[in-house]
Amino acid sequence: MKFDVARRAGKGLIHRAEDLVGGPARARVVAVLAAALAAPGADFATLSATADNLKRAFHVGNTGIGLLVSVTSLAAAAGTIPIGVLTDRVRRTRLLAISILGWAASMLFAGAATSFLWLLLSRVALGVVAATTGPTIASLTGDFFPPGSRARMLGYILGGELVGTGIGFVFSGEIAAAVGWRFAFWWLVIPSAALFWVVWRLPEPARDGRSRLQPGQRSIPDEHDVDHANPSPMSPGTTGGTRSAQRPVRHRHVDSEPDLVLSDDPTNCSLWWAVRYVLRVPTNVVIIITSALGYFFFSGLRSFALLFTTTHYGLSKPVASALTLVVGLGALAGVYLGGRMADRLLDRGWINARVLVPAVSLLVIPTVFAPGVATTSVAVALPLLTLGACLLAAANPPMDAARLDIMHPALWGRAEGIRTLLRTLGEAGSPVLFGVVSQHVFHGGKHGLEYTFLVFLAVLVIAGLLALTALRTYPRDVATAAASHRRQTRPVDH
């Protein structure tokens, strides 16, 4: 009887989730791509959750823990450009599946480490395979989902990273406490094997917009099942009632930038040409820098979140993990609300919605985060930090959707690879810098991380102010990307 009740409840939750994202086909894609992002999120959280264990095992301080995170980011940065090229030219679902298999192998290698150098090398290997997720998921999202709903869909997908982070904090921390830090890495191999099989079986969407999933659709067509002889059934600028960024741009007669309008298909253009073109799009440059600054703070915060919670508030690790999970739920709500709000504002004609929402979110964060960090009262800090996490996460889905709006689809993989490279180079030094500042500038102790977090909140203010400058360039860059499409053989709304 209880089993039947649980089964019916489970089916009800699945049906509600399908209705929320627009049908079974969309739900499957969102779940798979979100799970692929959950893997690296769980890994970073595991590193944070086992920081105390690793410091004792390898006799290192906060700087050493920060170095483990930074080398992963640097290795990922090195791999993003070639991965971006592959993303634009090979079957992306298989590329993503192979990277997950490599990620599992890196987890095995990390858990077997007998020295700090060994553990450091495992992080390098992890970074190389983790570089695949950014370009492939961005490109797949663009081809699976219509333009007007991308911010909302990206909200669900990016939520996977936060779910993985929460799982890493809770389960890996408990496993490390019960049976040792090695098993905190090893247990992640089991779900990654299942994820590899699921991603390998995910159909590859057509790159020309003809296999975008419509609301209520039940099956996912493979690129070979799409009829390329017929035009896309979608009318330009529409997504089943939701506007794309092109609709208000056309309505206001925004001019394109003639020097950036592409005459030919850029699929087979050289990497150097792609780099130069991507960095000539003004809004893209703003998004890269803004994203780098946001991730700089997030990376440092995530690396020392559990350590800060235990020392600053005087909590045990299990209680600190639970509170960190609550803050993570705020971030999860943020990625959903940020994407949904941007799409709704766009639907109402707010041409700059996907730029405005991130800018406002970043500027408001310090006003709620600073008092949450400064206080020693858990009751006061928890709602403030949860709201801060919500705002920080809310900035990402609209910015990611905006990147797709301003770039030709044949450049999505390389553009994301270039963005990830530059963003990662910006954030790679964050954990080390957070560790050095807390340990050597503020002399560690109870207040070292507190003062460090407060000082680096200035980075988010700079990011928010910079994002505001894109309000002027974004409409023109959308118009330029649309003009490039109209010159192609088969124009589709990107």
Q: At 290, which CATH number?
A: 1.20.1250.20
The domain tally of the chain equals: 1
- Assigned domain for 187 exists: yes
- Identify whether 209 is part of a domain: no
Q: Is 5 a domain residue?
A: no
pLDDT level of residue 227 (50, 70, 90 thresholds): low
* Least confident stretch, 253-262, 334-343, 437-446: 437-446
Other beta carbons less than 10 A from residue 374's beta carbon: 16
Percent share of the chain, pLDDT over 90: 27
Token pair belonging to 394: 């809310």
Across all residues in the chain, what is the average pLDDT?
83
Cβ neighbours for 275, distance < 8 A, ≥ 6 positions apart = 81, 414, 418
Tell me whether residue 219 is in a domain.
no
Please give the structure tokens belonging to residue 11. Answer: 């089916």
User: Does 458 map to a domain?
Assistant: yes
Residue 215 CB-density burial (10 A; 0-12 exposed, 13-18 middle, 19+ buried):
middle
- Residue 250 resides in a domain: no
Average pLDDT over residues 394-406: 91
Write the single-letter amino acid at 447.
Answer: H
Range of the domain at 126: 19-203+268-486
Higher pLDDT, 17 or 178: 178
Report pLDDT for 71: 83
The model's confidence at residue 51, banded by pLDDT at 50, 70 and 90, is: confident
User: Does a structural domain hold residue 252?
Assistant: no
pLDDT in tens, 144-167: 988 888 888 988 998 888 888 888
On whether the CB atoms of residues 396 and 158 are closer than 8 A, the answer is yes
Confidence of residue 494 (pLDDT cuts 50, 70, 90): very low
Instruction: Quickly count: other Cβ atoms within 10 Å of residue 102's Cβ.
Output: 17
Residue 318, pLDDT > 90, answer: no
At 80 the pLDDT is 84
* 93 part of a folded domain: yes
